[in-house]
Structure 1
Amino acid sequence: METGGNEGSAWTDGPLILGVPWEPPRRLIAAAAGLADGLGVHLICAFVDPSGYLAEFEPARSRTASSIDPDTNSEALFPAADVRSSLESVMGAPGEAWSLRVLNGSVPDALARLADSTGASAIVVGGPRRGARARFNRMLEQPVSARLMGIQRRPVVVIPEV
């Protein structure tokens, strides 16, 4: 397990954020749940849909959470339901110990915004995936863990894939 972040990062007693991929490994979920339990903090599991985006055309004080798209995309609910099912299979039903948030946009940016808005103590993510396709993707875009360590002042905990 690696930790990283910018200089001046400090561990707080805020919740722990877990960046949950589409098919979350049980090892990642269990490690984050164990860390949150050991620290005595709430675990916020965050699934980020990169196909959506955050549109912020108005000043923050007048911004609403309503969609600019008049049609409801019911298909967008299914990945979140699958992710929730994976989380519940390891940790049981959400409640005091953990909760799920579904976000949109760039994964590192969305996780950073959530961490800032909740006063999170740290962000937990999985390590870069293995294989030729994953290596090719990393040539085009940095792994989420690397991007987070570049934009976050709080600790980033990386759980390697086995």
Structure 2
Amino acid sequence: MTDHTPSRPGGYARVILVGVEGGRPDAVLLSAAELARDLGCELVCAHVDLGRYTVEERPDGSVHSLPIDPDLPELDEEGFDPALAAEIERVLGPTGVRWSVRSLAGEPARALGHLANTLNARMIIVGTHEAGLRRGMREFFRSSVAVHLAHRQHRPVLVIPLSPVTDDSALPWE
């Protein structure tokens, strides 16, 4: 991971925020890195833990959080998942792009939107749902982080297709 010291006192000069999840295809990170390099921006990789809630926000936009169910032993640890950090390092290390990680908690679109405001991010990048998931249209739009982001804040949202379908294939919500 590269140094994540603010580029100027009190904040980050030029940031692109990307939502990350473990075990997802590399396409989102690689596309985000290419765009960050082209625009001369730092890439901030944020993971939102749905099983936690925010107790306190730190100056860098990361959060101190607690598990929603404190009896679940696997949720006792706070901080960025080391396995996910290693996955990000594997993908972004060779790109030469300056990057850092942030741990967030709660509802993904709200958490990512808030962090984007805190960092004054130029844009937010997320990936699509896998094409193999078959849900109704209403469920697709209700659960789409990109749709929620596009309606809850003012900055651009770039959606990277993870499994594009051909013209004659059913869409994920069909």
TM category (shorter chain) comes to 0.7 to 0.9
Calculate the TM-score normalised by the size of structure 1. Answer: 0.72
Deviations 1:32-62 (A, max 9, x none): 0110011001000001101111247xxxxxx
Structure 1 residues 16 and 24: CA distance shift in structure 2, 3 A: same
Calculate the TM-score normalised by the size of structure 2. Answer: 0.68
Question: What root-mean-square deviation, in Å, do the aligned CA atoms of Structure 1 and Structure 2 show?
Answer: 3.0
Superposed, 1:1-162 pairs within 5 Å as 14-55=14-55, 75-76=74-75, 77=77, 80-92=81-93, 97-132=98-133, 135=135, 139=139, 141-162=142-163
Structure 1 residues 39 and 113: CA distance shift in structure 2, 3 A: same
Report the secondary structure of 1:53's partner residue: strand
Count of residue correspondences: 138
Give the CA deviation at 1:129: 2.1
Give the CA deviation at 1:132: 3.6
What letter is aligned with 1:127?
Answer: T
Shift >3 Å, 4+ stretches: 65-69, 73-79
Larger RCO: 1 or 2 (CA < 8 Å, sep 6+): 1
Cross-structure match for 1:3 = none
Structure 1 residues 86 and 68: CA distance shift in structure 2, 3 A: closer
Unaligned runs of 5+ in 1: 1-12, 57-64
Give the CA deviation at 1:138: 6.2
What letter is aligned with 2:109?
Answer: P
Structure 1 residues 86 and 67: CA distance shift in structure 2, 3 A: closer
